[in-house]
Structure 1
């Protein structure tokens, strides 16, 4: 079978290669899946660069954390699944950028027929992150302001729609003015451009001198620092990525941190899923299905690439202003 691998950390376009590998066989409690589509997510590219916390590759390493596929073969002692069944596949160690993969049944999510392959391919990482951060961890009340950076990303757009659905107001940070009108059409209550002045000052012009109580940031660096400084007393900020690879410099006046009881937290979806019950995860996945059907958590039309087009695919995934999620489709011809 064809599969994408890498032998060392580095820039994805340079170190990712297509190889012919043995088709895996399922063991006890496992199934083999024929992959239909797998997205190129920021977490995948961080993994290749050696910047993804929590997962250490064994070289040569497979890659691809989520996707959609058809169960091909059942291993021994598998119950509750059938050959030919379509599932969302969570591959916590990577391996979905391939024609086939083997997974334990607790990594599979049965999905309804009315959701397209393009939507199911990105069923978990972005939708689950949006719901868990906004509704479970921060639990932002209706009518409150939520500040987020990287608002033009797939997840950022999803958070805008989710917040609108639940009556939460959003302030959205973008890097370029060209994104402003598009995000406002999507439902953003306010959009600020990071190059037009300090984020915290722009935020306070919108909400008042107190600042905002809730913030979400995947950028860190100077952006994360300024967002933290935009927090009100008892404010909370979740960091869920490191797009710049730079630290948040919370080297502000200690009185701002301590007297205001401003909390800085890190969010990693894998940890949340591993530390919550099957019932809680089932509720989450059912909520995702319902919100996908309502059009709240839909992913933009996909840009499809074959495995042989991996270099072009990862370059497109990091192209500024890209419209749509990049999908690897193993059966597609280059």
Structure 2
């Protein structure tokens, strides 16, 4: 028997329960993992609330990220040994492959032996943020030397990963956050400049910081009214990649900016990378190289104990964090 996180109805963090279930032996192509740490993401909160792109079958498990040691290996699985330290690539379905529990079963092709330089919390915080940022900035936008990239929600784990990726390829990351309270931390993390969107004129500051070349890439999970100043500051032929919809307000279509500057507005989910083995292998190689060379260092906002999973979700929804929330076992 093992304890896992489940919910029997949709709602706030209080609907989460830790329940004992039997975890079977791994089937062909599967690995059973004794979990040491879990990473929390907005997606888990949305699934719990009934607002995610995937529909939960109640009672439902949840979770996209975990790290631990290999406990059992199914038939046909090669490249792993009992006791190996591993982390998991986020599955395309967390209802089918929930990661938040003491013991989990996962397809072997989503299990990675991560660099020894990562401790359990960092390993559990690695894949979702860097895969999401890599897929948008490198795979799709082809971000490169000298490009100006605007990263909104910059203090999120994905935003911080995007700053590191931009610096690694020689681009210039401009971080956008709501208030100036996190500005210095973002500068320390590698942002070339920081704009507090609730305290400054976003369009004017972007025009000032980007200069005559303009912003070639925007990486945004918010939407809403921000589309107007963001696209106004973009360069001809620029691309805005939208990977979320956090704003409760309608998102206007900036017709004049799109037409006059031949802009691309592109919706994106990390599932594009996860569902393509060739693109996923390229992403894994890029990320692992960055970790090994010290360019990528997951930022941990706060660590909770497994029994504090409800409190961890409450903190996730508070928007106070700088980086990833991790739960340890």
TM-score by length of 1: 0.89
Which deviates more from structure 2 when the two are superposed, residues 120-129 or residues 90-99? 90-99
- SS state at 1:259 partner: helix
Q: Distance in 2 between matches of 1:228 and 1:19?
A: 47
| 1:148-163 mapped onto 2 (5 Å cutoff) | 148-163=151-166
* Alignment: residue pair count: 324
Distance apart, 1:177 and its partner CA: 1.3
1:26 aligned residue? 26
Distance apart, 1:323 and its partner CA: 4.3
1:118 aligned residue? 121
* 1:8-49 superposed Cα distances (whole Å, 9 cap, x missing partner): 3322x1221111222233222212111111111122222222
- SS state at 2:31 partner: strand
* 1:188-235 superposed Cα distances (whole Å, 9 cap, x missing partner): 222111113442232112224664121000111222443233322211
- Root-mean-square deviation (CA, aligned residues, Å) is 2.1
TM-score by length of 2: 0.90
1:135 aligns with 2:134: no
Which deviates more from structure 2 when the two are superposed, residues 213-222 or residues 154-163? 154-163
Change (3 A) 1:315 1:200: same
| 1:172-187 mapped onto 2 (5 Å cutoff) | 172-187=175-190
Gaps of 5+ in 1: none
On the 8 A contact 2:40/2:325 being kept in 1, the answer is yes
Give runs of ≥4 in structure 1 deviating > 6 Å: none
| 1:241-280 mapped onto 2 (5 Å cutoff) | 241-250=244-253, 252=254, 254-277=255-278, 280=279
Gaps of 5+ in 2: none
On the 8 A contact 1:204/1:210 being kept in 2, the answer is no
2:150 aligned residue? 147
On the 8 A contact 2:273/2:280 being kept in 1, the answer is no
Change (3 A) 1:208 1:106: same
* 1:54-80 superposed Cα distances (whole Å, 9 cap, x missing partner): x32211110111111211112233333
On the 8 A contact 1:3/1:97 being kept in 2, the answer is yes
Q: Distance in 2 between matches of 1:4 and 1:245?
A: 28
